[in-house]
A = this chain, B = another copy of it.
Amino acid sequence: MTRQPAQPSLEELAAKLAEFARERDWDQFHAPKNLAMALAGEVGELLEHFQWLSEQQSADLPPATRDAVALELADVLLYLVRLADKLQIDLGAAALRKIELNGLKYPVDRFHGSSRKYDEPS
């Protein structure tokens, strides 16, 4: 896949979304509670693309579906970035911290090839 020369960072996206909202006077609607709902609504739309597909089909989407899914993923990301920004949460730092925590909860030797939860018996 050809990549665009410059990927936007999470902070650049947050800045763009803040400006988008400011221009439209939308901060009044963007309480974190509301943004969390909007995020969940977009995830619902994402699920609708996959619900009747087999796992294999979901990995091999027709181009039009894949393009529609890309825009749904974008919607989820945009609300997520906006929500983190309104809460002054550093999303990138939180993600790194969570990967580290997951590494502790799911040590390689005990969870190799297993989908059970960290607190489920093996």
Which A residues lie at the B interface, using CB under 8 A? 1, 3-4, 7-11, 13, 16-17, 20, 23-26, 28-29, 31-34, 36-56, 58-59, 61, 66, 69-71, 73-78, 80-81, 83-84, 86-99, 101-103, 106, 108, 111-115
Contact = CB atoms under 8 A, between A and B. Distances in A.
B11 A31 contact: no
Count of chain copies: 4
Nearest to A81: B95
B8 A33 contact: no
A31 B58 contact: yes
B24 A112 contact: yes
A47 B44 contact: yes
Contacts of A111: 24
